[in-house]
Amino acid sequence: MIGIHEDEARRLALAALFAVVLALGMAALMPGAQAAESRTLLNVSYDPTRELYQALNESFARQWKAKSGEDLKINQSHGGSGKQARSVIDGLEADVVTLALAYDIDAIADKAKLLDAGWQKRLAYNSSPYTSTIVFLVRKGNPKQVKDWGDLVKPGVSVITPNPKTSGGARWNYLAAWGYALDRNNGDAAKAEAFVAALFKNVPVLDSGARGSTVTFAQRGLGDVLLAWENEAHLALKEFGSGFEIVTPSLSILAEPPVAVVDKVVDKRGTRAVAQAYLDFLYTPEAQEIIARNFYRPRDPDVVKTTQGIFAPVKLFTIDDVFGGWTKAQTAHFADGGVFDRITAKK
């Protein structure tokens, strides 16, 4: 008899223990359950903005605390722009998205209906609080004398760029080259295609992302020119030292990485006010200065003036002017069977 009682008691104890562990586990998994009084925001962004948003978040959290008394913790998620957009579509609860291409936020609006199609009109400057452009990183002394896009198609010049099919940044590279060729050939699309095809003939490796290409160029010693975002080129200069220099071409593309509040998520989580304030903050002089210090080009005219020394002058064209927007550029150039497939198949 005693044996049975002991057995039952042990079972009960085990069951109780199991219940406690289960409850603890559930509590840990429940978002926001453990810290109801302090607010969190999730900013889903793309790869090279990690350092930028670290600096911005700190500054905004301080301002928000002063204004509302609330402790704010902003979580960051970084990855390839397209992959990040897919995560949000599949249910990652991003309060705000700050991605590399409008096309990726369009996909969130279109596939998951988490925000409406007119999102890009909501904030100033196409909802892009900062811009960048595509520049060249070359080896010290510029041994191949690369000055402009035209030099990239010369035989014997090896160019490193990521794969436009997998990397948002690489699509800017490709379109920048295309825009330059159009400009030099009076808008002749066939000549532009021939130019870009010749350029990609000089590409020995297509990495899947921008950081991978930077490593291939800077650490593996491959290639004479790296096509890179201006901010990435500056970072590479800072990180890999004096073996490189930046060449700014005569004409390049205005890269406008856009930001947006994800309506359905902020309404569900009750974070609309703070999410909106966060994005508005990006346009303030304080944030614009942080942006410039992280080598993104600011929008605020006053900040532009004070930070002129950082950025070389370059004539810029927009994707809307030359390609009629992202969706059109995507379908014509990067979709399966598009121009990029055509020129790389010719190899």
Partner 1 sequence: MGAVAAFALSLPRRVPSVIPGFGPTMGLTLAYLSLIVLLPLAALVIKAAGTTWSQWGAIVTDARVLSALGLSFGAALVAALINAVFGLLVAWVLVRYPFPGRRLVDAVVDLPFALPTAVAGIALTALYAPNGWIGSVLEPLGVKVAFTPLGVVVAMVFIGLPFVVRTVEPVLHDVDLELEEAAASLGADRLQTFLKVILPSILPSLLTGFSLSLASAVGEYGSVIFIAGNLPGVSEIAPLLIVTKLEQYDYVGATAIATLMLAISFTLLLVVNLLQKWRRGRMGG
Binding residues (CB under 8 A) for partner 1: these are 80, 82-83, 86, 89, 107, 111, 163, 165-166, 203-208, 212, 215, 219-222, 330, 334-336, 341, 344-345, 347
> At residue 131, what are phi and psi to the nearest 5 degrees?
-130, 175
DSSP codes joined into one string, 295-326: TPEE--HHHHHHTGGGS---EEE-HHHHHSSH
Residue with Cβ nearer partner 1 (208 or 306) = 208
Which positions ≥6 away from 13 have C-beta within 8 Å? none
Residue with Cβ nearer partner 1 (61 or 225) = 225
What 3-state DSSP class applies to 241? helix
Residue with Cβ nearer partner 1 (106 or 256) = 106
- Provide the minimum distance between the beta carbon of 333 and partner 1 in the complex, in angstroms, as a whole number: 11
What 3-state DSSP class applies to 41? strand
Order across the sheet with 244-247: list the strands: 159-160, 225-229, 134-139, 244-247
Strands 244-247 and 134-139: antiparallel
CA 273 vs CA 38, 158, 266, 268, 280: distances in Å: 15, 49, 9, 12, 11
- Provide the minimum distance between the beta carbon of 240 and partner 1 in the complex, in angstroms, as a whole number: 14
Residue with Cβ nearer partner 1 (162 or 298) = 162
Residue with Cβ nearer partner 1 (59 or 208) = 208
Adjacent-strand bridge partners of 245: 138
Question: What is the Cα gyration radius of the chain?
Answer: 24
Which residue in the block uniquely carries the two structure tokens 């897919």?
A: 86
Residue with Cβ nearer partner 1 (37 or 336) = 336
Which positions ≥6 away from 245 have C-beta within 8 Å? 137, 138, 139, 140, 141, 142, 237
> At residue 342, what are phi and psi to the nearest 5 degrees?
-65, -50
- Provide the minimum distance between the beta carbon of 104 and partner 1 in the complex, in angstroms, as a whole number: 9
Side-chain half-sphere exposure of 35, counting CA atoms within 13 A: 8
Handedness of CA 199, 201, 203, 208 (dihedral sign): positive
- Provide the minimum distance between the beta carbon of 15 and partner 1 in the complex, in angstroms, as a whole number: 18
Residue with Cβ nearer partner 1 (208 or 318) = 208
As given in the structure block, the two tokens for residue 276 are 């909106």
- Provide the minimum distance between the beta carbon of 188 and partner 1 in the complex, in angstroms, as a whole number: 25
Residue with Cβ nearer partner 1 (89 or 314) = 89
Residue with Cβ nearer partner 1 (164 or 179) = 164
- Provide the minimum distance between the beta carbon of 260 and partner 1 in the complex, in angstroms, as a whole number: 17
- Provide the minimum distance between the beta carbon of 342 and partner 1 in the complex, in angstroms, as a whole number: 11
- Provide the minimum distance between the beta carbon of 80 and partner 1 in the complex, in angstroms, as a whole number: 8
Nearest one of 115, 93, 98 to 106, comparing CA atoms: 115
- Provide the minimum distance between the beta carbon of 228 and partner 1 in the complex, in angstroms, as a whole number: 18
Q: 241 near 219, Cβ under 8 Å?
A: no
Adjacent-strand bridge partners of 253: 317
Residue with Cβ nearer partner 1 (77 or 344) = 344
- Provide the minimum distance between the beta carbon of 21 and partner 1 in the complex, in angstroms, as a whole number: 20
